[in-house]
């Protein structure tokens, strides 16, 4: 702690600060210079998705409430284990980030690799021969909010199995009105176009994920000098093309 927990303006984004605040609420003493230990956990108490900082708990909190708190092992595999292993193995032939993720029990689709556009014999594959499922695998699917039950359904196509135009809610089965689909898809397009033209860059290293608007002489190199990842658009042209392909 470089200062008192109450003096942090961005406390909600810093795990150790939120843990320190809860420690003080329990009557414990927290001073400037103290090291705050925390563990990233899953919580059964919280119903809505929480930020990383909100999922940080002191080891004592985990020990006292094992029924509601459990260690997020996947987070530690992604953030602490996979990055150094990937850097150590990046020069070994036949090994890439996705394959290492699979060996660790992680979803390989979440780990992009420069080999994704390479064929089995190392030749570069043209974008035209890559399947749409693989081409748009990192794109976020459009979610439609049902006016009846307020649940969210993924929009995969505007045509149902019987080839009649219409989209049904996956929860209650009610049919979305065409005007509802139009405005929600239009809103999603506007949202991603705005983010695309803002020009945010994001590091592809899962342990870093630094975001910036700063450009460097070597624009593909991460702005974090300690990171060996590369910067790429947070919202790419591929994401925009996904919407226009409906």
Exposure b/e, 223-241, CB count within 10 A at least 16 = b: beeebebbbeebbeeebbe
Tokens 């990192």 sit at which residue? 138
Question: With contact defined as beta carbons under 8 Å apart, do 198 and 240 qualify?
Answer: no
At 191 the pLDDT is 83
pTM flag (> 0.85): no
Sorted by where each starts, the structural domains of the chain and their CATH numbers stand as 5-71 (3.40.1820.20), 73-135 (no CATH), 199-246 (no CATH)
Summarised one tens digit per residue, pLDDT across range 64-80 is: 998 989 999 998 998 88
Q: For the chain, where are the alpha helices, taking DSSP H only?
A: 15-25, 59-64, 73-76, 82-89, 97-103, 132-135, 178-198, 237-244
Q: Please determine, for residue 229, whether its predicted confidence score (pLDDT) is greater than 90.
A: no
Q: What 3-state DSSP class applies to 152?
A: strand
Share of the chain above pLDDT 90, in %: 12
The DSSP 8-state label assigned to residue 3 in this structure reads S
Tokens 């983010």 sit at which residue? 195
Q: Residue 155's beta-bridge partner residues?
A: 142
When pLDDT is averaged across residues 110-118 and rounded to a whole number, the result is 53
Question: With contact defined as beta carbons under 8 Å apart, do 42 and 70 qualify?
Answer: yes
Mean pLDDT, the chain, as a whole number? 77
Summarised one tens digit per residue, pLDDT across range 11-50 is: 777 889 999 999 999 899 898 889 999 999 988 877 665 7
Summarised one tens digit per residue, pLDDT across range 147-170 is: 888 888 877 665 554 445 567 888
In angstroms, the CA 238 to CA 235 distance is 8
When pLDDT is averaged across residues 77-89 and rounded to a whole number, the result is 87
């Amino acid at each position: 702690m470089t200062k008192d927990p109450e003096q942090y303006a961005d406390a909600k984004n810093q795990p150790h600060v939120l843990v320190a605040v809860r420690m003080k609420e329990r009557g414990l003493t927290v001073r400037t210079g103290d090291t705050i230990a925390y563990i990233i956990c899953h919580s059964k108490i919280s119903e809505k998705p929480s930020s990383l900082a909100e999922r940080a708990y002191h080891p004592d909190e985990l020990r006292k409430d094992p029924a509601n708190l459990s260690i997020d092992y996947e987070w530690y595999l992604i953030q602490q284990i996979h990055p150094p292993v990937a850097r150590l193995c990046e020069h070994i032939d036949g090994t890439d980030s996705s394959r290492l993720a699979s060996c660790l029990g992680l979803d390989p689709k979440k780990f992009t690799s420069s080999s994704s556009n390479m064929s089995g014999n190392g030749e570069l594959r043209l974008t035209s021969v890559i399947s749409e499922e693989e081409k748009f695998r990192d794109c976020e699917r459009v979610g439609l909010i049902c006016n009846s039950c307020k649940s969210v359904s993924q929009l995969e196509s505007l045509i149902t199995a019987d080839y009649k135009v219409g989209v049904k809610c996956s929860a209650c089965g009610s049919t979305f009105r065409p005007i509802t689909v139009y405005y929600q898809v239009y809103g999603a397009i506007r949202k991603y176009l705005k983010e695309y033209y803002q020009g945010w860059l994001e590091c592809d290293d899962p342990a870093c994920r630094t975001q910036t608007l700063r450009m460097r002489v070597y624009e593909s190199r991460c702005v974090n000098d300690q990171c060996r990842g590369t910067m790429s658009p947070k919202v790419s042209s591929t994401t925009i093309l996904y919407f226009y392909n409906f």
